[in-house]
Amino acid sequence: MESSAQFWAAVWAFSGVISSQHWDTVLTNPEAMPGAKWFQGARLNFAENLLKFRDDKIAIVFQGEFCEENHTGKDQTGEKRSAREMTYSNLYKEVARCAELLKSLGVIQGDRVAGYMSNTPEAVIALLATASIGAIWSSCSPDFGVEEVSERFAQIQPKVLFAVDGYHYNGKSIDVLDTVKLVVEKIPSIDKVIIVPFLNPLAEVNNIRDVMMYDDFETDTTEVDFAQLPFDHPLYILYSSGTTGKPKCIVHSAGGTLLQHLKEHQLHTDIKRDDNLFYFTTCGWMMWNWLVSGLASGCTIVLYDGSPFYPSKNSMWDLVDKLGITVFGTSARFIAACAKNQIKPKERSKLPTLRGILSTGSPLAAESFDYVYQHVKQDVMLSSISGGTDIVSCFVLGCPLRPVYRGEIQSRGLGMAVDVYEQGKPVRGKRGELVCTKPFPSMPLGFWNEVDNQRYHAAYFARFDNVWVQGDYAEITSNDGLIIYGRSDAVLNPDGVRIGTAEIYRQVEKVDEVLESLCIAQQWEGDVRVVLFVLLRDNLELTDELKVKICQTIQDNTTRRHVPKKIVAVADIPRTLSGKIVELAVRDIVHGDEVKNTHSLANPEALENFRDIKELQEQ
């Protein structure tokens, strides 16, 4: 990291970044975080770099939950959209058409274009068309409700909204046109609503103001006029998913996002043109943005919309076989669920094309590594990766040249001065705060409409001067890998000993009777005590014998301080819209405090399971 400027310049050259004007200086003001500037003088376009290939290779494969073999387009009833493929050549032409549509609606550089979209080719096309003009893209998935969508988009005042009419999930069709109508009524900045039919191309939409159908726009334009913009021109607005207030609107640059994703795809994941890259995600999670950038490496990106376990528990692994997926991205929760349900893909297929599995969303337990190598595939690179919405990329991730160690993330990101601090000093083999001590290109430009950057500074730089604090509790191991033990603001501290919640989750996952768990520190008699909430399999009860089994499993593999003082069964566990459990919200409920933003939760009603629990008022 002593030569970070030279490194990022080398990434630029290696990955073949397209620019109309070369940079004057790679890095200016390098000691300032925030404040450093990258590739000043350069002019480029994000969409142009993702569309530099314009041949007949397949760019996008879309597979929806209701897709049928050998069936493309819409069926005669308009009820299904089936498996579709789109070449790089056709993708370019579709982006040209969509960009012309946006221009006809008056969209210019700096305008915001929002997407309330399923994970479909049209979402990718709308993003690229937006970026080609120099407008700013922001998206949510259609499972977000009216309040969740409104509190995000109202802050950024989009001019145009792309929206689907509905989506499929777990064998059901969910119409969202009423939600679209209400959202548009709440956001007066929206001049035009463009409906992308997914459930029914004949859907009635006239009750939505300023509406048009995506397929109705016609133009002779077949070329894209890519606006040439500075490296730090804004590209994306992503949203924090916390429960402490309105979601923060995090602004990411075109150049920083492009360069970071090229590095992570081509160097850390070894993506090449003949790869089929898949990530199970929605348009409301930054992994969707990460997946779309795979187009810049010329591979085929695979989009999936629906439940990962429908129509069968093997659906995702069957998809790997069917589409020849080479790199399969998912969540730690999905892998743990496969293990719990004793899904054994290698007994059905050898998955000959699969060479990499990526996992994020939460720490990947050591037992999940065992599961993958025993029951999925032996000769596969299993890469646990971590970073997030904050940087639209990763701090720590895989490395094709290094071994995989059970329970560890392989490496720190190239060009990223990632470290672990204890009391403001770097440590090895000990737990502390995950930090980054030098600037990197994908640092956010700031939060939308914040002139003084006070909230931005408070979020990442208030603890240590000129050091980014990510908020993860982590350790750099003797293998130079990393282990993440959970969020540092959720760290348990019984008897003054710091314990990451993931340390406990890893042990509870071994208990077959437990589907999921959530752990907090409860204030009790001048100290804190560890409380474990468990979601059990159907028709099971939390008996004294099961409590003993859970406690013994934890103590046998950790320490006595990790053993919860209380174990409580609950009917559901609250999660954010991107699927992360919300320990802090549960901690607030248990202590009688208000949860300020329940709209950020996918299942806010689950919080009631944790209110006024009698067992937690007793010794």
CB atoms inside a 10 Å sphere around CB 457: 14
Closest Cα partner for 277 from 259, 293, 260?
A: 293
pLDDT value at 332 more than 80: yes
What is the DSSP pairing of strand 58-64 with strand 43-44? unpaired
Per-residue pLDDT, 526: 78
Per-residue pLDDT, 547: 95
pLDDT average, residue stretch 256-282: 97
What does DSSP assign to residue 247?
Answer: P
- Decide if 180 contacts 197 (C-beta within 8 A): no
Q: How far from each other are the two terminal CA atoms of the chain, in whole angstroms?
A: 52
Per-residue pLDDT, 81: 44
Token pair of 286 as six digits? 């930054």
pLDDT value at 75 more than 50: no
Closest Cα partner for 529 from 563, 488, 570?
A: 563
Edge-to-edge order in the sheet of strand 229-230: 19-21, 43-44, 229-230
Element (H or E) spanning 259, and its range? helix 254-263
Token pair of 175 as six digits? 């119409």
Per-residue pLDDT, 361: 87
Q: Which residue has the higher pLDDT, 441 or 202?
A: 441
Q: How far apart are CA 303 and CA 254, in angstroms?
A: 22
pLDDT average, residue stretch 46-63: 97
Element (H or E) spanning 304, and its range? strand 300-305
pLDDT value at 478 more than 90: yes
- % of the chain at pLDDT higher than 90: 81
pLDDT one-digit tens code per residue, 10-42: 999 999 999 999 999 999 999 889 899 999 999
Residue 201 bridge partners (DSSP): none
pLDDT value at 563 more than 70: yes
pLDDT one-digit tens code per residue, 193-243: 999 999 988 888 999 999 999 999 999 999 999 999 999 999 999 998 766
Lowest-pLDDT choice from 157-171, 400-414, 521-535: 521-535
Q: Which residue has the higher pLDDT, 72 or 102?
A: 102
- Decide if 170 contacts 117 (C-beta within 8 A): no
Per-residue pLDDT, 243: 61
Per-residue pLDDT, 70: 33
> H/E/C letters for each residue in 301-325?
EEEEECCCCCCCCCHHHHHHHHHCC
Closest Cα partner for 17 from 42, 54, 40, 36?
A: 42
> Options 3.40.50.1010, 3.40.50.740, 3.40.50.12780, 3.60.10.10; which CATH number does 46-307+385-474 get?
3.40.50.12780
Would you say how long the chain is, in residues? 619
Token pair of 521 as six digits? 């520190």
pLDDT average, residue stretch 153-178: 95
Q: How far apart are CA 128 and CA 238, in angstroms?
A: 16
- % of the chain at pLDDT higher than 70: 96
Q: Kindly report the backbone phi and psi dihedral angles of residue 221, in degrees, each rounded to the nearest multiple of 5, phi listed first.
A: -65, 130
Q: How far apart are CA 395 and CA 414, in angstroms?
A: 9
Token pair of 485 as six digits? 């033990």
Q: Kindly report the backbone phi and psi dihedral angles of residue 402, in degrees, each rounded to the nearest multiple of 5, phi listed first.
A: -115, 155
pLDDT value at 369 more than 60: yes
- Decide if 165 contacts 205 (C-beta within 8 A): yes
Average pLDDT score, the chain: 92
pLDDT one-digit tens code per residue, 275-306: 999 999 999 999 999 999 999 999 999 999 99
CA distances from 516 to 111, 511, 608 (A): 42, 10, 17
Indicate the pLDDT class of residue 244, thresholds 50, 70 and 90. Answer: low
pLDDT value at 83 more than 80: no
Q: How far apart are CA 377 and CA 148, in angstroms?
A: 39
Q: How far apart are CA 475 and CA 479, in angstroms?
A: 11
Class assignment of domain 491-617? alpha beta
Indicate the pLDDT class of residue 82, thresholds 50, 70 and 90. Answer: low
Number of H helices, E strands in the chain: 15, 33
Sign for the pseudo-dihedral over CA of 400, 402, 403, 409: negative
Q: How far apart are CA 71 and CA 326, in angstroms?
A: 24
Q: How far apart are CA 98 and CA 549, in angstroms?
A: 58
pLDDT value at 449 more than 50: yes
pLDDT average, residue stretch 607-619: 90
Element (H or E) spanning 121, and its range? helix 121-133
The domains of the chain are located at 4-41, 46-307+385-474, 491-617
- DSSP assignment string, 39-98: EET-EE-HHHHHT---SSSEEEEEEETT--TT--SB-TTS--B--EEEEHHHHHHHHHHH
What is the DSSP pairing of strand 327-331 with strand 356-360? parallel
CB atoms inside a 10 Å sphere around CB 228: 15
pLDDT average, residue stretch 321-348: 95
Edge-to-edge order in the sheet of strand 425-426: 425-426, 418-422, 431-436, 468-476, 482-487
pLDDT average, residue stretch 246-254: 94
Task: Of 89-98, 170-179, 582-591, give the range with the top mean pLDDT.
Answer: 89-98
